[in-house]
Amino acid sequence: MICCTIFAALLGLFMRPFVLLRTNPLAWRLKHQPAASDPPLRATGRLQSFSHALAGLAFLVRNEPNVRIHLAASLSAVIAGLRLHLSLSEWQWLIFAIALVLAAEALNTAVEQACNSVTRSYNPAIKAAKDVAAGAVLISAVAAALIGATIFLPHVVPSLANRNLPSSNWICGNPGDA
């Protein structure tokens, strides 16, 4: 593993001059050479970046019904968490699960919009890209559901919280305990 890492680092150092000579065929933005009169990038540029991000989120909520479903489920999970007085670690997992699903849905929408801008006619490669992006949302939603089940079920079904589970000493220590 370490040998592969060292090899990859050396290969990257060796290939860097060649990569810099080649223009990126995937770059879609026009080359802009800053003139001497152009002001340097300041906080307004960063604020504009946040403005673009918020516009993207607004587009997502406005145009994707699945995002609205995920937001409703997230809101209900937060309300349930407040009512059940979740611990800090449970809140961390809940926030992670919500962010995971919403980020996957946003990336899915970005892939769909990019593919739709290329062509509206059937293309097997575009179908595969859209299907994989939708599969990523499915994976994240299932993971979030499992995280939610491990958080909420012990609070809702008290017998699950008081259950005596087998000891895990066999994993990390005392061979005599097995």
Give the separation between CA 68 and CA 109, rounded to whole angstroms.
Answer: 13
pLDDT of amino acid 167:
53
Which of 136, 134, 116, 135 shows the shortest CA–CA distance to 126? 116
Look at the chain and report how many structural domains it folds into.
1
Q: Which residues contact 80 (CB under 8 A, 6 or more apart)?
A: 152
Residue 4 resides in a domain = no
What is the CATH classification number for the domain harbouring 117?
1.10.287.3610
pLDDT of amino acid 48:
86
Which regions of the chain are under pLDDT 70? 1-5, 7-43, 161-178
Residue 132 resides in a domain = yes
pLDDT of amino acid 170:
47
Given the residues 64, 90, 105, 112, select the one marked as catalytic: 105
Residue 157 resides in a domain = yes
Structure tokens at 19: 């990569």
Q: Domain range for residue 96?
A: 59-161
Give the separation between CA 62 and CA 71, rounded to whole angstroms.
Answer: 12
Per-residue 3-state assignment (H helix, E strand, C coil) for the chain = CHHHHHHHHHHHHHHHHHHHHCCCCCCCCCCCCCCCCCCCCCHHHHHHHHHHHHHHHHHHHHHCHHHHHHHHHHHHHHHHHHHHCCCHHHHHHHHHHHHHHHHHHHHHHHHHHHHHHHCCCCCHHHHHHHHHHHHHHHHHHHHHHHHHHHHHHHHHCHHHHCCCCCCCHHHHCCHHHC
> In 10 A of CB 147, how many CB atoms?
19
Give the separation between CA 152 and CA 143, rounded to whole angstroms.
Answer: 14
Residue 14 resides in a domain = no
pTM exceeds 0.75: no
Question: What are the pLDDT digits (tens) for 37-67?
Answer: 655 556 577 788 889 999 999 999 999 999 9
Q: Is 112 a catalytic residue?
A: no
Residue 104 resides in a domain = yes
Structure tokens at 130: 């859209």
